[in-house]
Amino acid sequence: MGNRGKLLTYRESRRFRPGACYVYGFPLDEAGQDALGEKLCPTPPTSTSTELVKPQNKHLRVLFHLLSQCDAVWPSDRSKWATGTWEGEDYVLIGVAVCRIKNDEHIPKGGDMVKLKAIFAANGFIEEPRWFLYG
């Protein structure tokens, strides 16, 4: 069991049952996703119902927008959108590390963490990153 604290890829983490891994990431609240989604793909004021952008498409745009900005700071193979649980609540988040046990050795530190927090704050997400039960 000496490798329980090693960094996993998101693909490797799928081998374990849900809730058997942890993901460290930035939580994305629903209101923030809606606001950023509207900013990235605004609804035209004179649109018909067939022209409306589906909310789930806006949320995907938000996730890809945030991931592309994170790529400038953190390795893209370690960043992924994910779902996680914290204190019994489910979250959508941008994960930056996934492990079998919480291992702070693998999370961004120093200048990288400052830059990542700035990216999320600039996009309206100010909640602190933390460990979530992955799944």
d(CA 67, CA 16): 24
Structure tokens at 111: 């200048």
Per the structure, how many domains does the chain have? 1
pTM equals 0.83
Three-class DSSP category at 49: coil
Segment 36-83, tens digit of pLDDT: 998 998 877 766 655 555 666 888 999 999 999 999 999 998 999 999
| β-strand partners of 98 | 8, 23
- Determine, yes or no, domain membership for 69: yes
Angle of CA points 7, 9, 15, to nearest 5° = 105
- Determine, yes or no, domain membership for 1: no
- Determine, yes or no, domain membership for 17: yes
Would you state the pLDDT for residue 20? 79
- Identify the domain containing residue 36 by its residue range: 7-134
- Determine, yes or no, domain membership for 73: yes
Confidence of residue 107 (pLDDT cuts 50, 70, 90): very high
